[in-house]
Amino acid sequence: DGGITQSPKYLFRKEGQNVTLSCEQNLNHDAMYWYRQDPGQGLRLIYYSQIVNDFQKGDIAEGYSVSREKKESFPLTVTSAQKNPTAFYLCASSITRSGANVLTFGAGSRLTVL
Amino acid sequence: GQQLNQSPQSMFIQEGEDVSMNCTSSSIFNTWLWYKQDPGEGPVLLIALYKAGELTSNGRLTAQFGITRKDSFLNISASIPSDVGIYFCAGEEPRSSNTGKLIFGQGTTLQVKP
């Protein structure tokens, strides 16, 4: 079955540590995205990538970094510079359908800073 | 970043009742999407709307793309307990049509009492 796999599902981190969240898709989608979800705030875009070896900052990129070395993979690193990293992180990919971009989401990764 | 105004924020209804939620924006959109998110999971696409005035159904769900292109609503008829979750609207602005970036509403949390 085609889909998006995020790992780990749950992650605990001590303050000052960098952590990397994995996102892999086998949908052959060109574009991939990372969103952060906090209660009552909906989804906010962190980074997105439309093609391999290229990515752009979203609305809340500070304290995060990404890479896109392969079409299937778009890992997100939460650095120690991110002041409030505890959140639910969602990876998505998209294919243009009928002239619009419809996002398919992974199951999410919950990061908790201790 | 811009967010859509989604209402209501939460609903607590009796099983069998109909539900209505809507999203409004100060700017026009090319596309409206409606997603449902179960607790601890990623959002799943329910309905996609591509043209102003379009009315689309998916089982007990009906959604419409407002004629002004600045709003959309989602109706759920004869609610059942598995309708519980968070419903998000999302829109694509004309200036973002080649980036795949979507703007999300804050979500409507639906609880259904059996």
B19-75: pLDDT as tens digits: 999 999 988 998 999 999 998 999 999 999 999 999 999 999 999 999 999 999 999
β-bridge partners, A7: A22
CA B31 to centroid of chain Cα atoms: 12
B11 pLDDT higher than 60: yes
- In chain B, residues with a C-beta closer than 8 Å to the C-beta of A39 are none
pLDDT tens for chain A, residues 1 to 114:
679 999 999 999 998 899 999 999 999 999 999 999 998 778 999 999 999 999 999 999 999 999 999 999 999 999 988 889 999 999 999 986 656 678 999 999 999 998
pLDDT of residue A96: 66
pLDDT-derived band of residue B76, with 50, 70 and 90 as boundaries?
very high
- In chain A, residues with a C-beta closer than 8 Å to the C-beta of B106 are 40-42
Collect all residues with Cβ–Cβ distance below 8 Å to A106 and sequence separation of at least 6: A3, A4, A5, A6, A23, A25, A90, A91, A92, B42
CA distance B39 to A6: 16
Token pair, residue A80, equals: 């120690």
Q: What residues of A are in the B interface, CB distance below 8 Å?
A: 4, 6, 31, 33, 35, 40-45, 48, 50, 56, 58-60, 90, 92, 94, 96-108, 110
Distance from CA of B101 to the nearest CA of A (A): 8
